[in-house]
């Protein structure tokens, strides 16, 4: 059973998970999780290593489909529509629910092509001028334009780690997503690059629902308005970030945030 803090402002739920369990073969990694992901806010998933945060995050855009042993039970909706329905086109879903990974993973192509690739395969921006505009807009939204505008044909992999992560964010933005999932997006970055990404997350929340997995409680406190604490595959507690950190309802949450374990 998840303890839910009551004093949450009511918000549109962009995504809803109901009774979601995830198995790897017969091992249950997520046990009956239900949560609403609000629009235009940042939701943080925290909890000790191996508690299932990434596994649950991946259910939100069906990245678990790529793991043959993984099976998802329960229901997850995006704007009320079941994303596991056979009618759903998974490529379209992953454009609507984009993902940024722990390790920046630009394609071995130019900066321009990294951003243009998604819009091209989705058939947006057929003319060169339109594509140029999408690339510029996405790089500006990701806070990278000024640093790369004079070298768009250089390889994306030649950028610094923090720039590569912003390039990956620009790539996600370019296909006009509604939700952005971030799996420990700063874990490979130094403090300055981390601060830039955190600032960017704050800006992006004006337009998207954002979900971030993080090991840093300071980061969860800085960037999110909602926090869910996971432990051993269960979502133990969910509520406004400030309440989770100052007034946790469960001993397990309190022990984790005070550094007693994890």
Ligand X SMILES: Nc1ncnc2c1ncn2[C@@H]1O[C@H](COP(=O)(O)OP(=O)(O)OP(=O)(O)O)[C@@H](O)[C@H]1O
Chain residues in the site for ligand X (CB under 6 A): 24, 29, 47, 49-55, 67, 69
φ, ψ for residue 197 (rounded to 5)? -65, -40
Strand residues in 79-215 grouped as ranges (E): 81-82, 97-100, 179-183, 209-213
Question: Least distance in Å: CB of 233 to ligand X?
Answer: 7
CB of residue 56 vs ligand X: minimum separation in angstroms? 7
Q: Closer to ligand X by CB, 48 or 161: give it.
A: 48
- Residue among 39 and 227 whose Cβ is closer to ligand X: 227
Tokens encoding 102:
């722990």
When the beta carbons of 43 and 138 are compared against ligand X, the nearer one is: 43
Task: Give the nearer residue to ligand X in terms of CB position, either 50 or 74.
Answer: 50
What CA–CA distance (Å, rounded) separates 112 from 11?
A: 36
CA distance 233 to 33: 9
- Least gap, CB of 76 to ligand X (angstroms): 16
Q: How far is the CB of 250 from ligand X (least distance, A)?
A: 17
């Amino acid at each position: 059973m998840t303890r839910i803090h009551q004093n949450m402002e009511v918000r549109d739920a962009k995504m809803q998970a109901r009774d979601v369990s995830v198995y790897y073969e017969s091992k249950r990694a997520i046990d009956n999780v239900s949560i609403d992901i609000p629009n235009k806010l940042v939701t943080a998933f925290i909890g000790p290593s191996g508690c299932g945060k990434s596994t649950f995050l991946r259910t939100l855009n069906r990245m678990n489909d790529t793991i043959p042993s993984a099976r998802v039970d329960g229901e997850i909706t995006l704007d009320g529509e079941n994303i596991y329905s056979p009618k759903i086109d998974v490529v379209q879903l992953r454009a609507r629910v984009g993902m940024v990974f722990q390790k920046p993973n630009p394609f071995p192509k130019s900066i321009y092509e990294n951003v243009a690739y998604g819009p091209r395969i989705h058939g947006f921006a057929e003319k060169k001028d339109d594509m140029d505009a999408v690339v510029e807009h996405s790089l500006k939204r990701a806070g990278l334009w000024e640093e790369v505008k004079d070298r768009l044909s250089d390889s994306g992999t030649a950028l610094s780690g923090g720039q590569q992560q912003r390039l990956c964010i620009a790539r996600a933005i370019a296909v006009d997503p509604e939700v952005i999932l971030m799996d420990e997006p700063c874990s490979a970055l130094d403090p300055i690059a981390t601060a830039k990404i955190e600032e960017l997350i704050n800006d992006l929340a004006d337009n998207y629902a954002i979900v971030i997995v993080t090991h840093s409680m300071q980061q969860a406190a800085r960037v999110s308005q909602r926090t869910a604490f996971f432990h051993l595959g269960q979502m133990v507690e969910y509520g406004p970030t400030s309440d989770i950190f100052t007034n946790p309802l469960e001993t397990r949450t309190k022990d984790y945030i005070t550094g007693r374990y994890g």
